[in-house]
Amino acid sequence: MAPNASSTNTSSNTKKSKPHPSEVAFQGVEISVHILIWILQVFYYVLEDIYRLFRPKKLKPVDKEIVLITGAGHGIGRELAFKYAQAGATVVGWDLCEENNAKTIKEINEKFGKKAYAYTCDVSNLEEIKITAEKVKRDVGDVTILIANAGILYIRHMQDYSPIEIKKMIDTNVMQLLWLLHVYLPVMTANNYGHIVGISSIAGLIGAKNMIPYVASKFAVRGIMEGLLDEIRVDKSNKIKTTVVYPYMVDTGLFKISKSRFPLLMRILKPEKVANSIIMAQRAELEEVSIPGSMRPLNNLVRILPRKAYRRLLDLLDTSVEPDPIESF
């Protein structure tokens, strides 16, 4: 039986024809031109970064901003709240610990005479975030700077983590940011204005022992913020800004024992220093920053090396945190 003519035609149509030599040549030239432009842009951006080392960008004023800081009752969040209030911003502090949060806000109002607001909220819970966000809108107005700072850290060998500990870290460190974006990104998009700050960690750049779930959560924050920036920058008219921050170990009480072969080189940071660097980065509208500033470019550089050479450098520095005593839940 002869093959069906229509099926024969369909089969022949599906075969890909070879590109014409002129088409191949044109695409080759086009690719070469784009690569050359990209190389020139790389040189420009490197020179721009060097220039900014000596001539930092002018800091944006925050006296008309409403700044929401999660984890405002303690550590970095508390320092951020004080420093933003000092700069003239209206501060909205969220924390799960009502007592610490209220104390922070009370001290701000007494010291600066600028109205600050305290709200108790579990930032791992979407429904609580929605309810609290409605209260903030009613009492204060639309949040213009969002700082997802609250975080939890348990330090264990991987096999010693309880399921509850792992879930609490992921819910607080990762889902907090996603839920806050779910609630506040539409508001900022409607206003075409706002700044979102995600607090990652050096542990979001470099894997570390005794804190694997925490590392996972901070790598996730890094990925969320990079993806968010990629979505925002597609629309050239979008005025929402983002900043992701990678602090080294901070003395906030989250870890008990740390070690370093070169303690003068790898010093534990004070919350005040970290908070000041975060505010400077946000006000300068930097897209990402490590604290200290050398950590991120250094990590990018050594990642080019063979994996074994990279491990030897980590062995040389010998910096880590030691497991906490195991507590039952």
Amino acid letter at 226? E
CA distance 138 to 132: 10
Contacts of 166 (CB under 8 A, 6+ apart): 213
Phi-psi region of 141 (alpha: psi -120 to 50; beta: other; left: phi over 0): left
Q: Parallel, antiparallel, or unpaired: how do β-strands 116-120 and 90-95 relate?
A: parallel
Please name the residue that has the structure tokens 């791992």.
124
Q: Reply yes or no: is the peptide bond before residue 186 cis, omega within 30 of 0.
A: no
CA distance 314 to 124: 33
214 is catalytic: yes
Reduced DSSP (H G I as helix, E B as strand, rest coil) percent helix, strand, coil of the chain, to 5: 55, 15, 35
- Identify the active-site residue in 184, 214, 246, 248: 214
- Of 247, 295, 255, the C-alpha closest to 275 is 247
Q: What is the rounded radius of gyration, in angstroms, for the C-alpha atoms of the chain?
A: 25
CA distance 52 to 280: 13
**Contact assessment for residue 218 and residue 173, using Cβ atoms and an 8 Å cutoff:** yes
Contacts of 239 (CB under 8 A, 6+ apart): 192, 193, 194
**Contact assessment for residue 38 and residue 58, using Cβ atoms and an 8 Å cutoff:** no
Distances (CA, A) of 11 to 2, 6, 14, 19, 223: 15, 9, 5, 19, 44
Question: Which pair of structure tokens corresponds to residue 87?
Answer: 């700069």
CA distance 329 to 150: 21
Catalytically active residues, by annotation: 214
